[in-house]
Amino acid sequence: MTELIVSNTQSGQRLDTYIANNWDEGQSRAKAQRAIQAGLVLVNNKVVNRASIRVNQGQRIHITTLPSIDPDKIQPRDIPLDVVYEDEHLAVINKQTGIAVHPGAGHSEDTLVNGAIKRWPHIKDIGKSDRPGIVHRLDKDTSGLMVIALSTQAYNRLSEMIRNREINRIYSALVHGIPKRRKGIVDAPIGRSKHNRLKQTIMTDGKPSRTHYLVDYEIGDFAYLKIKLETGRMHQIRVHMEAIGHPVIGDKTYGKNKKFPKLARQFLHASKLEFSHPITGESISLSSDIPKDLQEALCRLN
């Protein structure tokens, strides 16, 4: 982590400009913005997500790291994509577990984005340069349905629909224990942990986050849930389920070291997407069965 202290002559600069001008590795303003958006920049020990705020004399700016991926170097690769819907404006992918959505630390050429720009080369100019076409994401070890924009018009509208909660996203999850309430809402703000920068946590000054859950059925000491996202924060379902005492089984980050035999990842699958087509208005409803590894986990319980 690098610490910078704002001088009198630097006071009043935008945060992204200040970082770009003072980071000793000569990072660009665009890279500074991505670091801020990712929650990797603290001002006086508080995470700040707005690149446009003005810095003041004496403030301490901590930078955990800066994104190392150069958008211009993202290469097309033959990454298998299970495309379940496609037209000229958008595609819906049934993402397999174990694949990261976009390039980042440890994953530069083996991501869904690398496969997407191989199949649809023109999307390199759609959306954010380091994650072209991506309007929402799934964790590396979460499988299931996600949308990719194939036109700028669709990207802009889909991004707006995500913000306005116009896309219905349903997940299937298996959790430890049986919730006392068969149906409920977890309403708790989420932000990046100040103690572990790789984790999200519930915090009073975090971003508003709401998760709806329904107990579909019980299997011994476990519950199979249908979960609906009202917001889409990083790791939201996993953080919220842990917070109510029912972590997702197989979750190595938020599962409190609770292990599940022969399951290499969290039992979380994006099983349904419902939305109106961003251009035509047509109703789209797509479902995905849980993959083989999760089916096998259920069989072992039964």
Is the dihedral angle over the CA atoms 246, 206, 166, 142 positive or is it negative?
A: negative
- What is d(CA 39, CA 258) in angstroms, rounded to the nearest whole number? 28
Is the dihedral angle over the CA atoms 206, 210, 32, 16 positive or is it negative?
A: negative
Which H or E run contains 171?
strand 168-176
248 three-class SS: strand
- What is d(CA 236, CA 202) in angstroms, rounded to the nearest whole number? 10
- Give exposure, 100-136, as e/b (b: 16+ Cβ within 10 Å): bbbbbeebbeebbbbbbbebbeebbebbbebbbbbbb
Instruction: Given the residues 16, 24, 72, 139, select the one marked as catalytic.
Output: 139
Which residues does residue 54 pair with via DSSP β-bridges, in sequence order? 14
Cα-to-chain-centroid distance, residue 111: 14
Active site residue 139: yes
CA distances from 198 to 98, 195, 253, 295 (A): 17, 9, 9, 29
262: buried, middle or exposed (CB in 10 Å: 19+, 13-18, 0-12)? exposed
**Active site amino acids:** 139
